[in-house]
Each structure stands twice: as structure tokens, then as C-alpha cells.
């Protein structure tokens, strides 16, 4: 959605389309996405795994409502928790605004959580950018292992493995010629 809004506002600012046209496109996209999600949910609930996930989301929402201590905040927290459990079981970005650990997480053994700094870096790299102006930096340590072989050792290797060397050289020559 962020990318869609950014693209839409760019088009408006460049006078390529009107603000109302942009908002109509956004409304259409949101309605299409909501309908698609509803259809996927109904198909998923037809499976045993889908019903289990729905039950887990319902339990998490009830726990969130009970822990809020206030019916208004509880309703919002329960709805958010339900949506997160249903939407993020197979991964994704936690929606919302704010700072600090404000979203309760129910994790399975072996799952991990990345902080915002790492996620921002991954998002930037996935968009084709890097940490500084479109450059991607890979850091590695070069630690070569040097094996010394004397002339007798080379003679023994060539005598023992001459067929392997011949195949390798022939294959390499074919690749260079093609």
C-alpha cells in the first residue's frame, strides 16, 4: 500500500492524473484485495489446518481482549491480534504504527524476530537499493589455504589422476570454444 500511495502521489504531483482518479484506483485496489482475502479465507477454512488456524486466532484475540483491561482498547487489540494470527502465520510484516514492543507475538520454536533496522535494510535491498545510495555491500573474510606440492608430488598426481585432468582440460576447452 505504501508503494501504491507513493506512486499515486507522484503521478498527481507530476500532473499525469488527478487526485480523485488516484483515490478511485486505490479504492478499487483495496476492494479487490479485500475480496481476494475473503475468498482465500473461506477456501482455507474448508481445510483442517485452516480451521485450526482460525481457532488459534480466535484464542489469541480472546486473550488480547482479556489482557487489555478496558473494553474499547480490548476490542481494537483483539481485532488486531486476530488479523495478525490469520495473516502472518506464513510470514510477513506486522502492520501498525508506534514504537516499542506493542504487538504481542505468538511464536513457534525455531521462528525468529528481526528488529526494524534489519528489516529496513532487507526492504531496501529487496527494492534494488542498498544501504547507501543504491549500492549493496557484501562483506567477507578472505582466508586462503595454500597447499604446497613439490615436483615429485605433481608427478604422482598426474600419473595417478591423468584421466581426471584430461577430462577437465577437454571440458574447459569446449566451454571456451562455444
pTM, rounded to two decimals: 0.32
Residues 6 or more apart in contact with residue 22 via CB below 8 angstroms: 8, 9, 11, 12
> What is the residue whose three cell numbers read 483442517?
48
One digit per residue, the tens of pLDDT, for the chain of length 178 reads 667 777 777 777 777 777 777 777 777 777 777 777 766 666 666 677 777 777 888 888 888 888 888 888 888 888 877 777 776 666 666 656 666 666 667 677 777 777 777 777 777 777 766 555 555 566 777 777 777 778 888 888 888 988 888 888 888 888 888 7
| Terminal CA-CA length for the chain | 47
Q: How many residues does the chain have?
A: 178
**In the 8-state DSSP scheme, what is residue 104?**
-
Amino acid at each position: 500500500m505504501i508503494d501504491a500511495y507513493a506512486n499515486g502521489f507522484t503521478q498527481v504531483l507530476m500532473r499525469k492524473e488527478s487526485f480523485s482518479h488516484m483515490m478511485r484506483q486505490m479504492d478499487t485496489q483495496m476492494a479487490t484485495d479485500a475480496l481476494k482475502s475473503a475468498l482465500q479465507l473461506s477456501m482455507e477454512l474448508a481445510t483442517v489446518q485452516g480451521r485450526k488456524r482460525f481457532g488459534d486466532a480466535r484464542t489469541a484475540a480472546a486473550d488480547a481482549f482479556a489482557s487489555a483491561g478496558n473494553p474499547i482498547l480490548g476490542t481494537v487489540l483483539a481485532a488486531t491480534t486476530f488479523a495478525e494470527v490469520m495473516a502472518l502465520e506464513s510470514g510477513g510484516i506486522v502492520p501498525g504504527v508506534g514504537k516499542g514492543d506493542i504487538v504481542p507475538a505468538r511464536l513457534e520454536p525455531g521462528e525468529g524476530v528481526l528488529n526494524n533496522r534489519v528489516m529496513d535494510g532487507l526492504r531496501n535491498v529487496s527494492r534494488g537499493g542498498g544501504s547507501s545510495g543504491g549500492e549493496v555491500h557484501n562483506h567477507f573474510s578472505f582466508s586462503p589455504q595454500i597447499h604446497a606440492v613439490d615436483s615429485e608430488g605433481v608427478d604422482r598426481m598426474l600419473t595417478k589422476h591423468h584421466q581426471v585432468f584430461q577430462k577437465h582440460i577437454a571440458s574447459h576447452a569446449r566451454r571456451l570454444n562455444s
